[in-house]
Every structure is written in C-alpha cells, then in structure tokens.
Chain A
Amino acid sequence: MKTIDTLTNMSIQITTEKDTLHISVNGDIVNFDTQTTLKKIQKSITKQIKKIIFINNNLQKWDSSLLLLAFETICLAKDKKISYSIDSMPKNLQELITLAFAVNRKPSHKTSDQKDFLEEVGFKTLSITSKIKTVCKYIGEILSSIGRWLTANSVMRKIDFLSALDDCGPKAIGIVSLISFLVGLILAFVGAVQLQMFGAQIYVASLVTIGMCRIMGAIMVGIIIAGRTGSAYAATIGTMQVNEELDALQTMGLSRIDFLVLPRLLSLLIAMPILTILADFMGMIGGAFVGVFMMNLPYQEYWKYALDAFSLKNFLVGIFHGFCFGFIIALCGCYCGLTCGRNADSVGVATTRSVVNAIVWMIVVTGIITVICQELGI
C-alpha cells in the first residue's frame, strides 16, 4: 500500500512492509494539516502491524506540524502497544518528543465525565437548592448587618458610605434627567397620535403624568442605575476578590457585608427614591414639551390637566418601586461581586450577571407589586 501527500516539495509516504509501517518524510514539512495523514496512518495500522518506523528521507525544514504528527502517531502506537522508532529523525525533534512524554501526570480532578439525563437532572436540582441556600444565607447576613448598623455595632466606614452615596446620587442626576425627559417625550408622542383621533389630545398630560409617576420613572431609574452602579459594584468587589482583598478582610475578621455591602446598599436605598422623584418630574416636563411646543396646547391648561391626574397614591407607589429596585440592584451587584471567581475573566462575567439579574428581578418584583396593589385596590 502506498499513499503520497504531495504539496509543492513536501511529501509523507506511508508504506507497509510485512509487520512494519514505514512513515517516510521528505522535503519541507511546514504548515501542513496533519489530520488527514493521521487518519491514513490510523487506517494502515492493521492487526499484523507490530512496529512503526519513521524514516528521514532527506527532510529539510520542519515545524510543529511534523512534531504533532510524530507525537500523535506515537500516542497511537503506545495505545495499541506497538513499538516505534524515531531514531532517524533530527536530533532536536527527538528531544522535543522525549520532552512531551517526560511528565505523564494528568490532573486527576478535571474529568469531563458524561452524565446521563437523570444524573444531570439530579445535579441541577442539587445545585439549585444549594444556590437558594447561599442566597438566603446572604440575605440573612445582610439583615443582621443592618441590625448591627442600627445598634451602632457595624464596622462600616462613614467615608465609604459617603463616597458610595456621591457616586449613585449626584453623579447620576445628569443621565437620569436626560433619559426620563426623553421617555416622557416619547410617551407623549405615542399617546398624542392615538388621542388626536378623538380630539382628546389634552389627555396627553394625564397619560404622561400617570405613566411616569406610577411606574415608568422608577423603571427607567432602575435600569440606568443597574447599568451604571450595580455593574460597578460587581466589578469593584470582583476585582477585590482577584486581588485577595476579600481574603484579607476575612482574615482580619472584618465582615465583608458590613464593610462592602452595607454602605452601597444604604446609599442606593437613599438615592433611588430621590432619583425616582427627579425622573417623574423630568418625564412630566418632557411630556409638556411635546404638548406645548408640538401640539400647541395652551401651557396653563396642560399643567392643569397634569396636576389633576397627579395622585399622591401613584406617586408613592412609584417611590416604593424605586426603593425596592435600590435594594435589588445593590443585592445583585454585591452578590455577583462576592461570588466572583479569581481571574480577570470572571470579573467580566460577574458584571454582566449583576446587570441581567438586577433587571430580571426588578421586572419580577414590579409584577408582584402590581398584583398586590390590584388586590388592595391601590
């Protein structure tokens, strides 16, 4: 049997002679794909083959592809307990092969064992229950930390709290104002088109006011803060994990919750309701902008309808949403940071997870609050 791979001036010939397989190489063996040749070799190793010999037939240049071919062939030979010889190959190639086989200590813990369906289901269930346990423990720790804070036993530093507050309060005003102004504008536009058909465009004022105050203001603030602050929490705390700073805290006996989570949580609990009020207000201005300048509604009349539609109940429900969202964002951001792995990659993962989790939970909680309000008739 004879196979020849010929490309420019390289060739590898595989021949069988009684119980011996000859692999003869010649010319420049660089940059070539070993897999097809390897398959041919594999096919040629029949039952009667007892020996594989590499033959150097005027080999010129070679690179890792030849090394790979030799390595994989030897692995095959070792597998099938066939003897082999690479004695005629260049000295340095032989040395590299020896090096590759020098340490045969495989990590014993990284086994990618195939699980069957039931096993998979079992593992998933166990991992979900253990995850629920850790989350419950985390929330419990936070509550006890808040308790320590209320009784003035917390190790939280005032300066950490103030800088966290500065970060999620004053520094977020610009973006929150802009986005909620635009959302108010969009709400008004969309509403106006419909209401105009009935000649009821003045009710745009009520639509925007109720929409922003009851829910849209809080949701917009929640999404902005989850993206800019929650993710920053996850990234900061995750990086502290990578830098062993969390270990240092733990071995110093300082509570990570008191020290890292509490200042962030408290500042968000304070900032979120205030930002929500700001967003409500800016949204109403956005609506007025459309009403007055584009639909030519009289200014005074617009505000009259807007204020008529304003109800303290809706306003407070909106602020309550903001408060809950603050809790969720801080919880998700800090949790993802604290459970971050120990390399740069996992900081990225933690950051993404914090934003996604926060938004999902905000929507879930909104649903729950809405149902409860419905039942209570609020």
Chain B
Amino acid sequence: MTKEAIIRVNDLTIGYGDYVLLHDANFQVNKGDIFIIMGGSGCGKSSMLRVLTGLLPPKKGNVIINGTDITQASPAELQKIREQSGILYQSGALFSSMTLAENIMLPLQQYSDYSPSTIKELAHLKLALVGLNGFDDFYPSEISGGMKKRAGLARALALDPDIVYFDEPSAGLDPISSRNLDDLIIELNRSLGTTIVVVTHELASLFAIGTNSIFLDANTKTILAQGNPKELLKNPPNKEVYQFLTRGETK
C-alpha cells in the first residue's frame, strides 16, 4: 500500500546562529499517521516542531506541506497552510485575557463564515469534546495545567485541521490524564482522519499511539532511525535507539 505524504522534509538543516542542531534530515509524514518525534533532551525536537510550523526558518532544505514548500511560500499560501494545521503548545498557550470559549472562537471568527451564534455553539462543542463541558466562561488562570492543555487542544481543533502538532502533550500530566489525552489523540486520528505529529519522550505513550517515528540524535546531529516505534523496539537499528526505547538497558 503506497501512502500519500502530507509533510515531506528534504535535506533539512536546522540550528540557531552558527550552531547546527541537525543536518540534512530527510523524512516524510503520511496522511493519517500518528508521527512521533523522539530523542534525548536538547536534541532539537521542539526546534524541529518550530520549523515544521513555520516559526523558525531552516538553515537549509525544504519543508513541503500539502504540496507547498513553506520555506518559500507566499504569505497567502502560508496562511492557507496555517488554517489547515492546529498546534498544541507545551503549556497550552491560551490567551490569558480571554475566556476559554473566546480562545476557541478566535480562529473561527477569523477564518470561518459561520454566524456568531453558531461560532459560540461550536466553541462549546469543542470544549465538550475535550472534556471541558461547561467551562466556557472560565479564564485560563482559573483552571489546572491539564485542563489548560485540553483547552489548548480544543483551540487547535477549532478549524478541523488536517494536521495537529503536539509538543510534549503528557509533560506535567498525571498518568490517568496523560492516558486520556493519548486516547483522545487516537480517537481524533481514527474518527476524523487527522494526521498527528507528536514530540514526546514518554515511552508508554509513544508505543501506544505511534504509527511512525523519527529518532533524533544530538551527537551525530542526524536522524538515527525511522519507523514504527514497536518495530524499532523489536529490531533496533543501533544501540542508542535500543537504549532510549528500553530506558537505558544495555544490550
């Protein structure tokens, strides 16, 4: 079965200033994948996400999303891609001066043609979908960290995006909430066919949800392995990947 690529990354080099984090990376994310970006602390996972979402210009190479190269796209094209993607930030990144409902209504007001009352109902529905039924009028400062994450997810889902990016979704969550978030991710992927890109180093989570992955390595500054995390555990291509996936056991 050949799959259609939704994100294609060619010869990508990323870094800050003179400092290179990762060079000549090539990989692709297929439509409908739950794609994991893993690797040790400081290897550049968050930076990779910033490049994929167009926040950090790469030093070299292309990132092609839905057929458009975001490194060379015009503002209008970039806008279109942004409407098609949702991002859940590590801390939720809700706008603190707005209620949860207003946070979710914001992208809808900008990019959809719904009437104001429909937008309000949609925001309510999205909140209910992530288990925050009735929290419409709460401010971000009035809810817990886990709830903020879920509200952030509701906002990321507001425009029914094709791709949703997550930066360490389970960081700071208790095991049950983290599990619930994983279930939510799988549900999203199954019922809406959303492609999902997740940065994580929580093993339980990445084995439970991942259908494909890349492993970044800070020493060689390259991608050390690609593939389904479960397959990688069965046939580890090298020592680093094996140690990472088994919490540091030596072969």
Contact = CB atoms under 8 A, between A and B. Distances in A.
Residue with the greatest number of chain B CB neighbours at <10 A, chosen from A155, A160, A252, A254: A252
A27 B95 CA distance: 60
Contact of B82 (A108, A160, A244, A252): A252
B54 interface: yes
Give the contact-size bracket for chain A.
10 to 19
A223 B50 CA distance: 39
A232 B10 CA distance: 43
A374 interface: no
A253 B53 CA distance: 11
The CB with the most chain B CB atoms within 10 A, among A155, A243, A254, is that of: A243
B78 A253 contact: yes
Interface string A243-254: 111011011111
A229 to B, nearest CB: 16
A248 B148 CA distance: 14
A307 to B, nearest CB: 45
B95 A245 contact: yes
A251 B19 contact: no
A155 B110 contact: yes
B53 A243 contact: no
Nearest to B167: A244
Interface in B223-249: none
B110 A109 contact: no
A47 interface: no
Given A105-B218, A109-B16, A109-B19, A247 B82 contact: no
A251 B17 contact: no
A243 B93 contact: yes
A243 B55 contact: no
Interface in A237-268: 240, 243-245, 247-248, 250-254
Interface in A130-164: 155, 160, 163
Contact of B93 (A163, A245, A253, A254): A245
Contacts of B53: 251
Contacts of A248: 87, 89, 93, 95
A244 B89 contact: yes
B207 to A, nearest CB: 27
Given A247-B87, A247-B93, A251-B85, 12 more contacts: A105-B219, A240-B95, A243-B91, A244-B93, A247-B89, A248-B87, A250-B55, A251-B55, A252-B106, A252-B110, A253-B78, A254-B110
Interface of B: 16-19, 50, 53-55, 78-79, 82-83, 85, 87, 89-91, 93-97, 106-107, 110-111, 218-219
22 contacts: A105-B218, A109-B17, A109-B19, A160-B97, A163-B97, A240-B96, A243-B91, A243-B96, A244-B89, A247-B89, A248-B93, A248-B95, A250-B55, A251-B54, A251-B55, A251-B82, A252-B106, A252-B107, A253-B78, A253-B110, A254-B106, A254-B110
